[in-house]
């Protein structure tokens, strides 16, 4: 069954699924983000003279593709939820924490060319390899520790690379709650670490796309319009 999950994810990554009538926590999180970004697309289009459209459309497209993947994870996690283990529940923060969009708000302007240089960007390939190795050697606890270090490196640039930061924040939270869920699972002779890792590994697989979207957003962000950065919830470690 676990092998089929991976094959299903690869298949669904290229097609959109119909939203569920009663979505699980993961799907509900995706749908919440989708609704916010669909609503804000026209607002950004107006204040950027349509230059934000490619960013919004790409983000919405990726969210739509994520619906089917989320449904699979919710079905897998529900097996454990039914046994009293709230797997893939608290890993998600409320979309209500997304900042209210003020079309007139402007952040400090900057030169996007600096961040377009690869030396000044997050080393996504290095991060992916390092985090996967950390999981192999030290499990979810080691993965959490290293993810936290990478997030600290991004603290000095809050106005850029917001999607990449969002994914890393999600990995950190999932690592922490994944460890907690595994402890609870072991008490009833079960294991949940495999599903927590699949969820985290999904994030790692999409990290390149997150950075690519960040780079697309740079010219708009450089003008003081915080697209992406003000459209994502802050994800705490717990």
Structure tokens at 179: 């460890």
Establish if 134 belongs to a structural domain. yes
Structural domain harbouring 119: 2-221
Number of domains into which the chain is organized: 1
- Identify the CA nearest to 140 among candidates 91, 189, 188: 91
Query: Residues 103-115, buried b or exposed e (16+ Cβ, 10 A)?
Result: eeeeeeebebeeb
Establish if 227 belongs to a structural domain. no
Is 50 exceeded by the pLDDT of residue 1?
A: no
Please tell me the distance from the alpha carbon of residue 38 to that of residue 46, in angstroms, as a whole number: 14
DSSP label of 118: G
Establish if 150 belongs to a structural domain. yes
Establish if 36 belongs to a structural domain. yes
Establish if 230 belongs to a structural domain. no
Is the pTM higher than 0.85? The answer reads yes
Q: Per-residue pLDDT tens for 8-39?
A: 454 445 678 899 999 999 999 999 999 999 99
Which pairs from 128-136 meet CB under 8 Å and 24+ separation?
Answer: 128/204, 128/207, 131/171, 131/200, 131/204, 132/201, 132/204, 135/197, 135/200
Q: Per-residue pLDDT tens for 164-221?
A: 999 999 999 999 999 999 999 999 999 999 999 999 999 999 999 999 999 999 999 9
Q: What is the pLDDT of residue 120?
A: 96
Q: What is the pLDDT of residue 217?
A: 98
């Amino acid at each position: 069954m676990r092998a089929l999950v991976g094959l299903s994810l690869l298949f669904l990554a290229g097609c959109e699924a119909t939203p569920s009538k009663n979505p699980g926590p993961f799907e509900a999180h995706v749908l919440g983000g989708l609704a916010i970004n669909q609503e804000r697309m026209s607002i950004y289009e107006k204040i950027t003279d349509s230059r934000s459209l490619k960013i919004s459309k790409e983000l919405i497209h990726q969210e739509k593709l994520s619906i089917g993947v989320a449904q699979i994870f919710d079905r897998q996690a529900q097996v454990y939820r039914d046994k009293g283990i709230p797997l893939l529940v608290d890993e998600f923060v409320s979309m209500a924490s997304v900042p209210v969009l003020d079309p007139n708000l402007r952040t400090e302007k900057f030169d996007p060319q600096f961040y377009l240089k690869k030396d000044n960007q997050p080393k996504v390939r290095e991060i992916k390899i390092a985090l996967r190795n950390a999981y192999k050697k030290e499990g979810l606890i080691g993965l959490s520790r290293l993810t936290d270090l990478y997030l600290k490196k991004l603290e000095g640039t809050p106005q850029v690379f917001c999607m990449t930061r969002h994914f890393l924040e999600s990995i950190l939270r999932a690592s922490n709650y994944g460890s907690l869920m595994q402890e609870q699972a072991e008490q009833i002779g079960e294991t949940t670490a495999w599903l927590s890792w699949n969820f985290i590994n999904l994030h790692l697989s999409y990290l390149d796309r997150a950075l690519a979207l960040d780079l697309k957003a740079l010219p708009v962000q450089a003008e003081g319009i915080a697209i992406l950065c003000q459209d994502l919830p802050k994800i705490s470690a717990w």
